[in-house]
């Protein structure tokens, strides 16, 4: 995912794991249990060629609430285990 903040990360994350938390869309009540990660999370970032990462994500990462995003997604993953 490339979400910009913790709340959107939580919403996207929950939607593709336990189903749409807002019960507004087609994934309401649909449990997909997909493993969900942000592109800037260290374990994902480490697998990308560094020059390409800087070119594609580097600038955006500077303004993202990374720690809050990572924390929100860790909780989503823990709750779907």
Nearer CB in complex with another protein: 3/19: 3
CA distance 42 to 57: 13
Is position 40 an interface residue for another protein (rule: CB under 8 A)? yes
One residue of 24, 26, 29, 43 binding another protein per CB under 8 A: 43
Q: Which of 6, 16, 73, 76: binder of another protein (CB under 8 A)?
A: 16
Give the C-alpha separation, 57 to 22, whole Å: 29
Per rule CB under 8 A, is residue 3 in the interface with another protein? yes
Q: How far apart (Å, rounded) are the C-alpha atoms in residues 71 and 68?
A: 5
């Amino acid at each position: 995912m490339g979400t910009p903040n913790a709340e959107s990360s939580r919403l996207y994350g929950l939607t593709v794991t336990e189903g749409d938390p807002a019960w507004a869309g087609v994934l309401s009540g649909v449990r997909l249990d997909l493993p969900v990660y942000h592109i800037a999370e260290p374990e994902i970032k480490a697998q990308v060629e560094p020059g390409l990462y800087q070119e594609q994500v580097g600038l955006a990462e500077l303004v993202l609430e990374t720690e809050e995003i990572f924390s929100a997604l860790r909780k989503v993953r823990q709750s779907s285990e």
